[in-house]
Structures are given as structure tokens and as C-alpha cells.
Amino acid sequence: MTTQKKKPVTLGELKKSGYVSVPVREELRRNLIARMGSHEPLFPGILGYEDSVIPQVENAILAGQDIILLGERGQAKSRIIRALVDLLDPEIPIIEGSEVNDDPTAPISRYGKDMVEEKGDATPVVWVGSDHRYGEKLATPDISIADLIGDVDPIRIAEGRYLSDELAIHYGLIPRTNRGLFCINELPDLAERIQVGLFNLMEERDVQIKGYRVRLPLDMIVVASANPEDYTNRGRIITPLKDRYGSQIRTHYPRESSLEIAIMEAERTKFPDTEERLYVPQYMKEIVAEYTTLARKHPEINQRSGVSVRVSIANYETIVANSLRRAITQGEEHAVPRLTDLPYMIASTLGKIEMETMEDGRETKIHDDLVKRSVLNIFDRYFAASDFESIVASFEQGTTVDTGAELPAQRYVDEITKFEGFGNALNKLGVAEDGPAIASAMEFVLEGLHLNRRVNRDLVEGGFRYHV
């Protein structure tokens, strides 16, 4: 049986163990090189950045640079930054009681220096995990220097300390993240005078508090995120501060539909009871992804604010939820999304996009237009309208078909017997011989024929009626 080696608990034991402290930039660099050598992914679960963003982040770490990530909302900026914590060592030693993670072998605070001077090799040491070395602050206009850097603590003054005494200072978030990573989210929202207060931190690696001669040579990497398109509305990053960041990396939305779908699948909320009965046809996933892609190009949608992957994820969850609701109310074994579930996406879309116009009812019209174009584009990838001449011929002979989100699947199974040619479509779509799946495929084909102007469609109570 192997026994775990006891960690040093005093400075003397730490010295005897052969521990060597390294700067945090070197620490990240060393661990990144090890991970790259073993071909481990740097950002597991983040898709679409393998050939663009990730190599730039790797270069920045190898170069020992601070990083600012520029991109619209929903481009995984915060997730990337938080994933950098995994490149820190699992544990490091600090002086017990230190607010600024003092290195026992080279303390920087008055508290740490006094402790080592007083107790020498008996100085108590504790080990802290990587999560203790990560600090994050969402920038807001009301943030003060005291929040980030520190301020004189009136309670300590009341206890008898002098204003000029470093021990009278209450440290802010940045000093408390010494020997780690500090992140500022949405940096342009930080007031310009506060950004000026970061100059010393970014260049000289020290902080000044209340004008007193308090110099803390901090060891840290400073990362930030920002939406470049919002500078004129919400503020800006002042040029001298941008100049101090070593790397400025642009993020982006998925460049391929397959990546959008993969992110949808990975990020959607899952429930065990739903997964057992859920089947989502590939063409339905493609329609949801296409909807987002088209929205990112729509002239009446504000592209400066972006159309994030969250739109795709929420819309995917919505059509799954509506298919589940139908399966429960109709007593069907399987839940399969249909085209008639797509109108429900308006509830999960409108809160995530900004319109260029505020005209009443315009949002709904834009949504309907995006749905139609998405369905048409995906239908045309699978079929040509001429593939269904026999079905069109049946409509020309007076056949009609009703569809609706609340109609049971058996209704569609009964209707499909009126037509020839649906079997080939089902095979091409990879649809199983299952009622709910057949209903979904049938709606897809009928709507595709309508959008290709081969059959007519009328709005009826509870759904649509297709005819010629």
C-alpha cells in the first residue's frame, strides 16, 4: 500500500523538500507545454476554435503575455478564460494567514515579511488549490479602485494602526489573486479613470494604494474580455491600457453548421426522463442552426450586438420541449420535433436579439421569414421538388392534408397512405418507421413543396392545410 507524502507545513520543511517557486507565467507555460506534448485538449468542450482562437491563446501563453479576448456575446470568451485555471499547478504553498498568497520563500507583503523575520523556518505554511488563485470581476461603471486594488481599512485604523502602515490596508481583488490569474469581464464598461489605475499593474507589476508608498510586486497574468462593437455605446478601452496587453485575440461564431449543431447538442439542458424517449431528426437540427446563421445576416437584426449560439441552444431546447409536451398529452412513446414546433421558437429568440426597427409586429414577421428561409434551404439540400411529382399529382386530384403541433402522430400515418413516394423520402431522411418520426418527416416534405410553390397552404384552426 502506498502512502501519500506529507506536505511541508513550515518554511523549513518546504526548503528541505527542494520546492522551487516559479513565476505564474512560467508555471502556465510549463503546464501548457506538457499538455501539448501529450496531445491533451487545451479547452475541452469548446468547439470551432481549433484552427483560429486556440493557437493564438497558446502562443500568448508561450510568450508569457497578458490576453484580451475581443468578440460578440456568446462566443465562449469567459469560458476560455476560466479554462486557463486548469494550467495552474494543483496546489502551491503560501504563508498561513496571508491575504495576498505570499510565497514563503519570497514574501511581498508586510505581513509576510514580518512573519518570516519573526519565526524564520518555523513560519507556518498552508497549501492552496488553483481555484484560490483565480479572481474575476465583471466590469461595471460603479467599480472603484478600492474594489480592485485596495483601501485603508477604518477598523484597523480604529485599532491603533497608522495610515501609513501597510497592515492598515484592506487589499482588493487584484492583490488577493497574487500568483494567479485575474480576469476583468467586459473591460470597456470599466470607467476610464479606473482603467488608468491598472497601468502600473499591467506594466510594472505593482500596485499603489491611497498614495502611500506601498509597493506590491505582484506575480500574475491579467486577462480580459470585451465586445468591440459596443465601445461607442458603453465605453471604450483606453489606448494606453490596450497597449499593455500582449495579445489581442478575436473570437467568432461557428463557421460551419455542423459546429453549431455540435454546440447545441453539447450545451442544451438534458433530463434523463426526456432523453429516453427523445429523437431529433438531423434535418430539424439543421433547420435550427440555419435559423441562427440567417439571423446573423439579416438586415433588420442588429449585428453589432451579435446573434449568439445561445439562440440556437434555446431554440433547440424549445422545440424539444414542445415535442415532449405533445408526446405526453397524446400518450405517444416517442417525442419527435416537427416543423409545427418551430413557431414556438419566437419565445426563446426575441430576448436574445436586437431589432433595428421597433415597429409593432415586425419581430414576428422577421421570425416567420427566418423560419421559412431556413426550412427551404435545408429542404433543398436534401431534395429537389421534382422528386415528389407523384405526391403533387395526388394533391392535384383533390387530396388535402392537415398538420398541426397538437395533432397525434397516428393522424399522419393514416394520411401518408394517400400518397406514393413518401417511402423514398423517409429513407433519404433516415427516419425510422415510427409514428412521431413519420409525422415530422411528412411535415418537412409538405412544407418544402409549399415553399417551392408546388402545393398551396392555408392557415386553419390549430395548424395548416395543404392542397392544390
What proportion of the chain, given as a percentage, has pLDDT over 70? 93
d(CA 109, CA 133): 17
- Say which DSSP state 61 is in: H
Reported as a single tens digit per residue, the pLDDT across 114-140 is 999 999 999 999 999 999 999 999 988
Q: What is the pLDDT of residue 231?
A: 47
d(CA 466, CA 455): 7
Q: Where are the domains of the chain?
A: 11-250, 257-467
**The CATH fold of domain 11-250:** Rossmann fold (3.40.50)
If one counts every other C-beta atom within 10 angstroms of the C-beta of residue 277, the result is 16
Rg of the Cα trace of the chain? 30
Q: Over 80: is that where the pLDDT of 361 sits? A: no
Across-strand partners of 225?
69
- In the three-class reduction of DSSP (H, G, I as helix; E, B as strand; rest coil), residue 80 is classed as helix
d(CA 333, CA 324): 10
More confident residue, 171 or 67: 67
Q: What is the pLDDT of residue 236?
A: 83
Return mean pLDDT, the chain. Answer: 89
Contact status, residue 466 vs residue 455, Cβ threshold 8 Å: yes
Q: Read out DSSP for 159-185?
A: TT--TT-GGGEEE-HHHHTTTEEEEEE
Average pLDDT over residues 447-455: 95
Contact status, residue 225 vs residue 187, Cβ threshold 8 Å: yes
Q: What is the pLDDT of residue 1?
A: 39
Contact status, residue 116 vs residue 95, Cβ threshold 8 Å: yes
Q: How, if at all, do strands 125-129 and 91-95 pair?
A: antiparallel
d(CA 32, CA 27): 9
Q: What is the pLDDT of residue 55?
A: 96
More confident residue, 248 or 4: 248
DSSP H or E segment with residue 281: none
Q: What is the pLDDT of residue 457?
A: 94
Residue 274 binned pLDDT confidence (cut-offs 50, 70, 90): confident
Residue 432 binned pLDDT confidence (cut-offs 50, 70, 90): confident
Range list of β-strands (E), 228-337: 247-250
Q: Over 70: is that where the pLDDT of 170 sits? A: yes
Q: Over 50: is that where the pLDDT of 62 sits? A: yes
Residue 151 binned pLDDT confidence (cut-offs 50, 70, 90): confident
Q: Over 80: is that where the pLDDT of 60 sits? A: yes
d(CA 258, CA 104): 50
Reported as a single tens digit per residue, the pLDDT across 370-416 is 999 999 999 999 999 889 999 999 999 989 999 999 999 999 999 88
Q: What is the pLDDT of residue 295?
A: 95
Its pTM stands at 0.86
